[in-house]
């Protein structure tokens, strides 16, 4: 470890089973977050811990929030980043899923294309986030503390709080240091969301989806203000229903260079929706 590298504590989380044989996605995500934050020693410690997992168990955390434990979300249905959307995805037990009701309001923005894809974005007030029993609420409260007590840089993040929130796997980290949104890229892509890993928002296979994400990411970059939205999408015959929190992090010149994108999956997320006959 270089002499100038700060020491970052690594807390051993409680045990759970691996999501892939010989690989702990949870610990590898923690390692990647530490690496982005500049804590190479902590990142190497997490990587070494994950590499020791060979028997299907490891010490990744399973501290899901109360709300998510009560959520009976279906298994993820991957959305290919560089391929066509998977048309053979089906809902549990082979049945098509009903579209979940999505409340309309004056703050709902709706976009669609000729292929039948559509995206509904409903702006939510940050103060409506629960302070307890909710991953997004916990994460937002932690971010507010960071902003009040620090320079709100990504290096200020303590991964123990991310673990405690139960958000590992459902959080992306986006590099937005470029003034061109087309250059935004994912430095971490959540492994527990029903979308395949993608290197950059502009590489997403559906144009309206990529445009919406880039617009929201760039708005937070320019304003340095967090954003909370309820998302309801139909993309390639798959229903995506989630609540998304975007948190900005600054550099030494107080410019937003990184975004943390936290996802709360809602019922019906990642379920194939057959066209009505």
Q: Where are the domains of the chain?
A: 16-58, 66-272
Q: Which residues contact 128 (CB under 8 A, 6 or more apart)?
A: 228
- For the cut 70, the answer to whether the pLDDT of residue 100 exceeds it is no
Q: Strand, coil or helix: what is 7?
A: coil
User: What pLDDT is stored for residue 145 in this prediction?
Assistant: 96
- Do residues 95 and 203 lie in contact, with contact meaning Cβ atoms separated by under 8 Å? no
Mean pLDDT of 200-204: 95
- Beta pairing, strands 238-250 & 271-272: antiparallel
The pair of three-digit structure tokens given for residue 267, joined into one six-digit string: 């019922």
DSSP secondary structure letter of residue 23: B
If one compares 97 and 207, the residue with the highest pLDDT of the two is 207
User: What pLDDT is stored for residue 275 in this prediction?
Assistant: 44
DSSP 217-267: HHHHHHH---EEEEEEEEETTEEEEEEEEEEEEE-TTS-EEEEEEEEEE-T
Mean pLDDT of 223-246: 97
Mean pLDDT of 15-22: 42
User: What pLDDT is stored for residue 118 in this prediction?
Assistant: 96
- For the cut 70, the answer to whether the pLDDT of residue 20 exceeds it is no
User: What pLDDT is stored for residue 133 in this prediction?
Assistant: 92
In this structure, what are the phi and psi dihedrals at residue 71, rounded to the nearest 5 degrees? -85, 125
Mean pLDDT of 106-116: 88
The pair of three-digit structure tokens given for residue 155, joined into one six-digit string: 């290096």
User: What pLDDT is stored for residue 94 in this prediction?
Assistant: 37
- The residue among 275, 270, 210 whose CA lies nearest residue 241 is 270
Mean pLDDT of 20-33: 78
Q: Which residues contact 158 (CB under 8 A, 6 or more apart)?
A: none
Per-residue confidence band for 219, with pLDDT thresholds at 50, 70 and 90: very high
User: What pLDDT is stored for residue 58 in this prediction?
Assistant: 52
What is d(CA 180, CA 12) in angstroms, rounded to the nearest whole number? 39
- The residue among 244, 246, 182 whose CA lies nearest residue 214 is 182
Out of 12-21, 112-121, 190-199, pick the least confident. Answer: 12-21
User: What pLDDT is stored for residue 130 in this prediction?
Assistant: 93
Q: What is the reported pTM?
A: 0.76
What is d(CA 227, CA 215) in angstroms, rounded to the nearest whole number? 12
Per-residue confidence band for 49, with pLDDT thresholds at 50, 70 and 90: confident
- For the cut 70, the answer to whether the pLDDT of residue 65 exceeds it is no
User: What pLDDT is stored for residue 220 in this prediction?
Assistant: 98
User: What pLDDT is stored for residue 51 in this prediction?
Assistant: 83
Q: Alpha helices, DSSP H only, in the chain? A: 25-37, 40-51, 66-69, 135-149, 159-165, 207-223
Mean pLDDT of 77-89: 38
User: What pLDDT is stored for residue 50 in this prediction?
Assistant: 84
What is d(CA 125, CA 122) in angstroms, rounded to the nearest whole number? 10
What is d(CA 251, CA 151) in angstroms, rounded to the nearest whole number? 8
User: What pLDDT is stored for residue 23 in this prediction?
Assistant: 52
- The residue among 10, 188, 158, 14 whose CA lies nearest residue 1 is 10
What is d(CA 11, CA 128) in angstroms, rounded to the nearest whole number? 31
User: Mean pLDDT in the chain?
Assistant: 79
Q: Strand, coil or helix: what is 6?
A: coil
Nearest-10 Cα torsion for 73, 170, 132, 8: 150
Per-residue confidence band for 76, with pLDDT thresholds at 50, 70 and 90: very low
The pair of three-digit structure tokens given for residue 231, joined into one six-digit string: 């998302």
User: What pLDDT is stored for residue 84 in this prediction?
Assistant: 35
């Amino acid at each position: 470890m270089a002499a100038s590298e700060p020491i970052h504590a690594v807390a051993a989380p409680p045990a759970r089973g691996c999501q892939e044989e010989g690989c702990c996605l949870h610990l590898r995500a923690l390692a990647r977050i530490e690496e982005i934050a500049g804590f190479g020693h902590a990142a190497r410690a997490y990587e070494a811990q994950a590499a020791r997992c060979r028997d299907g168990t490891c010490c990744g955390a399973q501290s899901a929030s109360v709300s998510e434990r009560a959520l009976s979300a279906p298994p993820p249905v991957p959305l290919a980043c560089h391929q066509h959307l998977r048309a053979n995805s089906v809902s549990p037990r082979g049945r098509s899923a009903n579209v979940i009701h999505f409340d309309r309001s004056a703050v709902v923005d709706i976009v669609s294309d000729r292929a039948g894809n559509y995206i509904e974005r409903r702006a939510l007030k940050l103060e409506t986030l629960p302070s307890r029993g909710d991953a997004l609420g916990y994460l937002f409260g932690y971010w507010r503390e960071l902003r009040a007590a620090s320079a709100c840089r990504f290096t200020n993040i303590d991964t123990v709080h991310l673990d405690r929130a139960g958000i590992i796997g459902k959080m992306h980290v986006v590099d937005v240091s470029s003034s061109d949104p087309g250059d935004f890229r994912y430095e971490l892509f959540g492994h527990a969301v029903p979308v395949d890993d993608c290197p950059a928002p502009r590489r997403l296979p559906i144009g309206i989806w990529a445009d919406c994400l880039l617009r929201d990411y760039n708005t937070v970059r320019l304003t340095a203000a967090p954003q909370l939205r309820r998302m309801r999408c139909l993309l390639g015959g798959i229903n995506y229903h989630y609540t998304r929190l975007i948190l900005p992090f600054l550099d030494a010149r107080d410019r937003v260079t990184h975004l943390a994108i936290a996802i709360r999956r809602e019922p019906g997320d990642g379920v194939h929706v057959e066209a009505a006959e």
